[in-house]
Every structure is written in structure tokens, then in C-alpha cells.
Amino acid sequence: MHKRVAAILISLSIVLSSGVKVLADPSLQDQLTQSKNNVQAAQQKISELENTINSLDDQIGKKTEELKTIQNNIVEKQTEISQAEANIQKSEADIKAEQNLYNERMRAIYIDGNSTYISMLLDSSSFDDFISKMETITRITAYDKQLIDSLNQKEQAIKNQEASLQNDKQNLVSLQTQSESNIASLNQQKAAEQPLIAEANKEESSATGQVSALQSQIAEQAAEQLAAQKAAQQAAQQAAQSQSKNSNNNLVSVQPPNGNLVSSSATGAQVVAYAESFVGVHYVWGAEDPSSGFDCSGLVQYAYSHFGISLNRTSEDQYSEGVSVNLANLQPGDLLFYNWGEDGIAGPGHVTMYVGNGNMVEAPHTGLSVRITPVRDGIVGARRIIK
């Protein structure tokens, strides 16, 4: 009878020390991982498409500014052309007037006997006077011809200027056409990207919905498993108590063979979350608070003390607290011990805290800060603190 009772009590201690292990359906976990990957892929695609559109918008803005400059230059050239045309008309009118005056004078000299020039010559008082008047008349007619030639040259210069302006305008019009074509092409490219962004947003939304749905399913499974495991624990406790009352054995309670679990309203996950809040705090040997830093055991002690759970100060002493845990049954908050010494002798020289999903939080060593990192090989033991 005593052996039976002892066996039941030992079984109870094993159940209690193992804690609650909640395992999600592997297929749901795979689906969740894939859905999260899909969300990241969609977000990456959206980011790339938005970068492309931003680049196109930048190019469109620059081309639009160039187009405005070209259009302003065309207006200026047209104004200059209009002014040149007005100058040509005035020059032509001046030439015509001067030409008419010149023709009238020539006609008067060679045709009209009553011309003033003829009268001037006939009224000469001497041969010298005649020669003098003849030279005067020649200079006048030469001046008239020179004036007409000058006006013709001026008109030709204005026409050349107009032709140059027309050529500049034509070049600007060509640039305007090309710029408008470039802007239209960029806008087409931008428009082509919009449906892709809409599709990527749709993919992101769908994948995010799948993640939420899968997380809900996993949470429901976890809750069901947790309830079932707690019920099993309670049943085991009741059976043990019943057998204990019916026996003549004086055993009142049985402690785990290598330590005690702490009853607490806090969970290991809460302790982990608090420890994670110190990620980035520098490692300082012998330090045990965030203002000065943490060493490995100082971080563990500080995190548990926040929830009223007192642990020893060093990793060697912490190795004797709580109960031993199989590495296959780790839960958030479990302590993982490593041989951090250089002599190769196995011993708990370094302690970390299991986070879950194969990760742990630790204050590693001098030169680094508190971090979350994958669990490494070389664990010499694991301990659970909270029931």
C-alpha cells in the first residue's frame, strides 16, 4: 500500500513539475508561418511599387517644370517675332517713302525742265558756281541712294532676325511636343502601376486576415489544451489526496526531488515580457538593475523579483532553484544554464531565460547588450521557477 501511495505521489510531482505545455496543431503553425510570409511579401511588393510611383511622380514633376519653361520661352519668342514683323512693316514703309522721294527727285532732274535742280544750275552766276551746285545736287542724290540702301540693309537684318526667331520658336515647339510626349508616357507608366498596388494591397489584406484567423484558431486550441491539462492535474491531485487519506503512511506532502516551484499569480510569459523590456541595456558584470546594467544572473533575478519572486544572485546558486526541466518541455520563463567557463568543466556559469519558439533572452557578455537570440547548443541544465 505504501508503495502504491508513493508511486501516486511521485507521479503527481512529475505532473506538477512538468508545468503546462501547450502545443498548437503543426499544420496550423505551418499555415500561420506561410501567411506571415505572404504578408511580408505583399508589403515588400507594395513598398517597391510605391517607390516606383514616387520615382515616376518625381520625373513627371521635373518634366512639367521643363514644359512650363519651354512654353514661356515660346511666348517670349512669339512676342519678339511679332515685334520684328512690326519693325519690318515700318522699315518697308520708310523705304517706300524714301524711294518715292528719290524717284521724284530723279524725275525732276532728267524729265521736268522746271525742276528746282535744273533751275539751280541755270541760275548759276559762273562756271564755278555751276560746278559747285552740281556737286551739291550730286551729294543730295547720293545721300538719298545711301539712305535707301541703309533702309534696305536694316530691313534685311530685321528679316534675318525674324527668320532666326522663327527657327528658335520651331525648335521650342519641337521640344514642347517631345516634353508633352514624355509626360504622357510617364503618366501611362504610373497608371499601369496603380492596379498592381491595388492587387498587392488586396494580397496583404487577405494574408493579414488569414494570419488573424489562424492565430484565433491556435489560441482556441491552446485554451482547450490548457483547460484539459489543468483538469488532468486537478484529477491527479484529487486522486493522490484520496489515496493519501486511505493509507497509514504518515507522508503529508512530497516536494520535487531537486527544488520547489513557486506559486504565483504571474506566469513565465509575463516574466519573459518584463525581461524583454530591457533589451538594449548594456552588460555589466556584477550589475543587477537597468540603471547600471545587467549581468546574466542579475537580469534573471531582477525580472523575477518584479513579480515578488526572490531568486539567488549568481547563476551557480540559481541552478539549484525551482525544478529540473527536460529540454523537450521548455516553457517561457524557464532558465537555461550554460558552461560559460574556459576550463571545459561542466557548470552553470551562464544563465538565460527561455522566451519560446526556440529563442531566449540574455545578458550575454561584456561588449554586448541584453538581447533576444536563438537558443544555442551547450545547455547543461534547465530549471522551472513558477508552478
List residues with catalytic annotation.
Answer: 296, 350, 362
Q: Which residues pair with 386 in a beta bridge?
A: 262
Name the amino acid, one letter, at 74. Answer: I
Query: C-alpha cell of 165?
Result: 526667331
